[in-house]
């Protein structure tokens, strides 16, 4: 029985071509139509037609004549993504705090707000509270709802992105929560939900090292520990969407119970909270830390740089052991996936001396690594808004 040839869906081809042009401009910056045509493999006429449509819609803008082309003859007029075309609301729900921002398409923050994550509230009530805060921010900053492209929401743990459901955030909600449905009903915008590390990997592709390199391993440390894998500039999800869960690799057998329900996970040993607990429960003398506490200070996740930098030998031994444990697990992960580079992010790597200590410990397992094999993320400072922004760009813009 012969199959009838249905031909090519021209609508999908057009969308694909538009997407290729927008992604190219995002990665390379302003380009001429001729250079775009050469880069994406389309005819000059096709690129001109698509760019004309994008200009009319306000998606791209013309920036003027290219410097090297200011001479007699046909001029190269540069075009670029119009970052002011739409706004994006980003919501990063973390174990300790929730971060809300409104940005343009380039990541420029127009307004932001931070609130302590309320784990005592029912999930649907907390999400409604967050929606009210988002609407308040729009009203107070005179941002009209028609300018909002969508909302990017990130949470820790397991996520069904297609259904917009948080399956288990481990230490926030332990039951499935229909985040996209709840927030979409309250706000009236498209809601894109993703695991925070997967979303960060997407932002690394659009705004960081992923622009130039296709195969990366991302490692986040603080307050927990997590990772993501980028292969050929795409996030590797795994069969069940749970690839790269380095924080839940089995590391010890002393019975430490993890929020995921298993025992001995790496996160139970090296999360910020685990480090604080081990230091507080240690029987070793820590005079410098004692004096710091007597002065009215308290060890918390959000002042890690203060207490972790104290010159207290016993405390530094505990921290160094944590760093060594992390390096050991990272070496095992890297042996399996063989990335071009490892991108480090999270506030633990910002603690003075900790980044260098991690590299030193890793070299105990592999002394032959290149000096630039590990790099600190260029966008980690803005990760709480770039994560959600990248989700909306991927789903609703590019």
Please, are residues 190 and 184 in contact by the beta-carbon 8 Å criterion?
A: yes
Q: Which two tokens stand for residue 142?
A: 């005179």
pLDDT of the residue at 3: 45
Nearest to 101 by CA among 132, 145, 125, 137: 137
* d(C-alpha 274, C-alpha 139), whole Å: 40
Residues near 30 by beta carbon (within 8 Å), at least 6 away in sequence: 63, 78, 79, 80
Instruction: Using DSSP, state whether 300 is helix, strand or coil.
Output: coil
* d(C-alpha 195, C-alpha 166), whole Å: 8
Residue 80 pairs in a beta bridge with 61
Please, are residues 359 and 62 in contact by the beta-carbon 8 Å criterion?
A: no
CA distances for 51 relative to 22, 180, 397, angstroms? 10, 33, 15
What ranges in the chain are assigned the alpha helix state H? 10-28, 33-40, 44-57, 123-140, 179-187, 196-207, 267-270, 272-281, 287-294, 304-307, 313-337, 354-363, 383-392
pLDDT of the residue at 5: 43
pLDDT of the residue at 124: 96
The dihedral built from the CA positions of residue 246, 249, 254 and 256, taken in this order, carries a sign that is positive
Model pLDDT for residues 163-201, shown as the tens digit of each residue: 999 998 877 998 999 999 999 999 999 999 999 888 988
Nearest to 113 by CA among 126, 130, 128: 130
Long-range residue pairs from 124-130, CB within 8 A, at least 24 positions apart, any chain:
124/177, 124/182, 127/177, 127/179, 127/182, 127/183, 127/186, 128/182, 128/186, 130/91, 130/93, 130/98, 130/100, 130/183
Q: Which two tokens stand for residue 138?
A: 């729009």
- The DSSP element (H or E) to which 92 belongs, if any, is strand 87-93
Model pLDDT for residues 246-285, shown as the tens digit of each residue: 888 887 777 788 877 788 889 999 999 999 999 999 999 9
Please, are residues 336 and 227 in contact by the beta-carbon 8 Å criterion?
A: no
Q: Which residues of the chain have pLDDT under 70?
A: 1-11, 66-74, 241-242, 380-383
Q: What is the DSSP string of 217-272?
A: EEEEESSSEEEEEEETTEE---TTS-TT-GGGSB---S-PBPTTS-BSBTHHHHSH
What domains are defined for the chain?
Answer: 10-81 (1.10.10.10), 87-203+383-397 (3.30.420.40), 209-377 (3.30.420.40)
| Cα Dmax for the chain | 85
Q: Which two tokens stand for residue 370?
A: 């290149």
């Amino acid at each position: 029985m012969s199959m009838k040839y249905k031909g090519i869906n021209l609508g999908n081809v057009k969308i694909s071509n538009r997407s290729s042009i927008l992604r190219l401009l995002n990665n390379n910056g302003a380009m001429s139509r001729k250079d775009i045509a050469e880069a994406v493999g389309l005819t000059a006429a096709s690129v001109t037609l698509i760019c004309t449509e994008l200009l009319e819609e306000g998606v791209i803008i013309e920036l003027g004549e290219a410097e090297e082309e200011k001479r007699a003859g046909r001029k190269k007029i540069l075009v670029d993504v119009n970052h002011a075309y739409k706004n994006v609301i980003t919501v990063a729900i973390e174990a300790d705090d929730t971060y809300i921002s409104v940005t343009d398409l380039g990541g420029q923050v127009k307004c932001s707000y931070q609130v302590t994550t309320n784990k005592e509230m029912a999930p649907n009530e907390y999400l409604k509270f967050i929606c009210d805060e988002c609407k308040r921010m729009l009203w107070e900053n005179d941002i009209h709802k028609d300018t909002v492209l969508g909302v990017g929401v990130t949470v820790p743990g397991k996520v069904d992105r297609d259904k917009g459901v948080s399956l288990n955030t481990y230490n926030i909600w332990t039951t499935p929560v229909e985040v996209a449905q709840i927030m979409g009903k309250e706000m009236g915008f498209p809601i894109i939900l993703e695991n925070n590390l997967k979303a960060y990997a997407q932002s690394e592709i659009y705004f960081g090292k992923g622009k130039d390199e296709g195969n990366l391993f991302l490692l986040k440390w603080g307050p927990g520990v997590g990772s993501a894998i980028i292969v050929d500039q795409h996030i590797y999800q795994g069969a069940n969407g749970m690839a790269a869960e380095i924080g839940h690799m089995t590391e010890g057998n002393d019975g430490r119970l993890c929020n995921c329900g298993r025992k001995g996970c790496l996160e139970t040993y090296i999360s910020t909270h685990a480090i604080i607990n081990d230091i507080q429960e240690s029987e070793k003398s820590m005079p410098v830390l004692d004096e710091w506490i007597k002065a009215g200070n308290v060890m918390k996740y959000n002042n890690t740089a203060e207490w972790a930098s104290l010159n207290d030998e016993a405390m530094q031994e505990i921290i160094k052991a944590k760093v060594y444990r992390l390096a050991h697990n990272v070496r095992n992960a890297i042996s399996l996936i063989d990335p071009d580079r490892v991108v480090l992010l999270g506030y633990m790597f910002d603690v003075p001396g900790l980044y260098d200590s991690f590299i030193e410990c890793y070299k105990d397992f592999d002394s032959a690594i290149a000096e630039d094999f590990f790099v600190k993320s260029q966008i980690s400072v803005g990760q709480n808004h770039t994560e959600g922004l990248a989700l909306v760009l991927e789903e609703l813009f590019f």
